[in-house]
Amino acid sequence: MQSRSRKEADKATYEYLQFLLQYKSPSVYASGGASSILLKDGITRAPIVRFGTAKRAAELKFFVENLANFDTLSVIFNRCSRFACSTGDVMGMNMVSKAIIKEEVVRKVLKTTVPTLVELNMLKNLTGSAIAGAFGGFNAHASNIISAVFIATGQDPAQNIESSHYITMMEVVNEGKDLHISVTMPSIEVGTVGGGTQLASQSACLNLLGVKGANKEAPGPNPRLLASIVDGAVLAVSYQSCKVALNSQEQSNSYGFAIVLFTRGCH
């Protein structure tokens, strides 16, 4: 029974990835592709300080909040500690991906307009997420694609939680004609060595992407490229998901109703 469920899950993951590649990526490709920028390669870890009483712990808090004291402690800590580390070919990334989608592509491929997508992103991904109390999830729920890629490439699926904390931004550019979309992923965690990356199927996927194993010349390039690939896929899914939402909302008129609620207020 477990084996059958696993096979069904693997099949669903494969079909979802195939759907993304065949259906969701062409509009990004037609506009010249997306560019991804790695802002920082590393991962942080914080120290734990233990006190006998809560009062003593609070005293340290107040002490550290003084900027002069904080600077003094920083110098001492940095002499013997690395709480922000370079992770080489293992996990730790900060990514930004962006693309400009031509007005013609938005109209023909997505069957909508640039201003409509920008407005939907503001109402759904930004305002809607804030009202819902989202923590780091101002996006179109791209944890689906992140989970799919993580499973396919042997990443730790549990890291999908922090890796899915990202923000999607859309704006009109080029004299109001084209759509500029960007996704910022401050804590995407991927690696190309160890763990599930050594499994046959996952290793084959990494090899297909050209990021298998460790780089022989210097540590880091392979997971950085993998992070860029994930970031680009998330970007493609983000605005495509908005398009899908628009299509369904046009049929049910829920999009127009949402605009009324946000512009006139709901009492």
- Quick: pLDDT tens for 7-26: 565 555 555 555 555 555 56
Most confident range, picked from 3-17, 96-110, 127-141: 96-110
pLDDT for res 203 = 92
Q: Encoding tokens for residue 248?
A: 């369904």
> Is the pLDDT score of 262 beyond 50?
no
> What is the bridge-based pairing of β-strands 84-85 and 94-101?
unpaired
- Quick: pLDDT tens for 32-82: 777 777 776 666 655 667 777 788 888 888 888 888 888 887 777 666 655
**Tokens 């070919």 correspond to what residue?**
89
The arithmetic mean of pLDDT across residues 133-138, rounded, is 73
- Quick: pLDDT tens for 166-178: 888 888 989 888 9
**What percentage of the chain has pLDDT greater than the value 70?**
67
In which residue ranges of the chain is CATH 3.90.770.10 found? 2-41+86-264
Q: Identify which has the larger pLDDT, 67 or 5.
A: 67
> Is the pLDDT score of 93 beyond 70?
no
Nearest of 67, 41, 55, 28 to residue 232 by alpha carbon: 28
> Is the pLDDT score of 1 beyond 50?
no
d(CA 99, CA 203): 29
Nearest of 125, 193, 115, 112 to residue 156 by alpha carbon: 193
Mean pLDDT estimate for the chain: 74
pLDDT for res 121 = 84
**Tokens 């003094």 correspond to what residue?**
72
Annotation: CATH topology of 2-41+86-264: 3.90.770
Cβ atoms of 202 and 259 within 8 Å: the answer is no
d(CA 17, CA 23): 10
Instruction: Record the pTM.
Output: 0.61
